[in-house]
Amino acid sequence: MPNGSTASLQDSAPGQSPVLVSGISFAAGDRLVFSASGTTDHCPAGSCGYAGAEGDANETPTSHNSGAENGIGNIIVRIDALIGVFLDGTQPNLTPAPSTYLDFSTDAARDFASLSPLLKQPFLIGDGRRNDGTTVQSFFVPTGATRLYLGTMDGYGWFNNSGSLTVEVGIRNAVPEPATLPIITSALLALLLGRRRKLVH
């Protein structure tokens, strides 16, 4: 979304836009793997409690309060969890959001071996591991995807988030060096919604 685009509750681009993954080239059908470290909080200065990339296990999983926005679909997942969304080369609000959303509200739903999200359908990345903490999860690139954005989950208002994550993204089809992508929550992750580019939000 262009700079100045807005989302619900004070979020706007580029301040609360998600982070664009760079330094890695992918194509439809490629199998991506992730790892993430660090902590974030959906409140200022950690006042609600910092959580890792899997999100806050002490809070009930949430969705985006305004639902789908700016052409990006909704999701149900733990707050503060690392999430992603694949986009093609066009502005996302020019076409409707996916009619279905992914629900990661249970332990079983988070324990997937592989995931094939649709374009503009936010999905859980977390720490990139299954519930055993060691088995790597696979994420398949959808047809038409040219960009991948990352952010953290919040129900609304990324403008006051805090903390940071460092995320590594690699293609498992080959064995390239993973691209390391630092994510700064306060401004950048917020917009999962905001710019939707607002990701996921």
Residue 171 has pLDDT above 50, yes or no: yes
Residue 189 has pLDDT above 90, yes or no: no
How far apart (Å, rounded) are the C-alpha atoms in residues 192 and 201? 4
pTM confidence score: 0.87
The predicted pLDDT at position 180 comes to: 52
Confidence of residue 57 (pLDDT cuts 50, 70, 90): very high
76: β partners = 103
Residue 37 has pLDDT above 90, yes or no: yes
**What's the whole-number mean pLDDT along residues 106-123?**
98
For 147, the 3-state DSSP assignment is strand
Residue 74 has pLDDT above 90, yes or no: yes
Residue 106 has pLDDT above 90, yes or no: yes
Residue 25 has pLDDT above 70, yes or no: yes
Residue 99 has pLDDT above 90, yes or no: yes
The predicted pLDDT at position 9 comes to: 80
Burial letters 103-131, b for 16+ CB under 10 A, else e? ebbeeeebebeebebbbbbbbbbbbbbee
Match 């997942």 to its residue by tokens.
77
User: Domain-by-domain residue ranges, the chain?
Assistant: 19-192
* Mean pLDDT for the chain overall: 88
**What's the whole-number mean pLDDT along residues 88-109?**
97
In CATH terms, the fold of domain 19-192 is Jelly Rolls (2.60.120)
**pLDDT tens-digit map of 129-158:** 999 999 999 999 999 999 999 999 999 899
- Nearest-CA neighbor of 118 among 89, 99, 149, 142? 142
Residue 77 has pLDDT above 60, yes or no: yes
The predicted pLDDT at position 119 comes to: 98
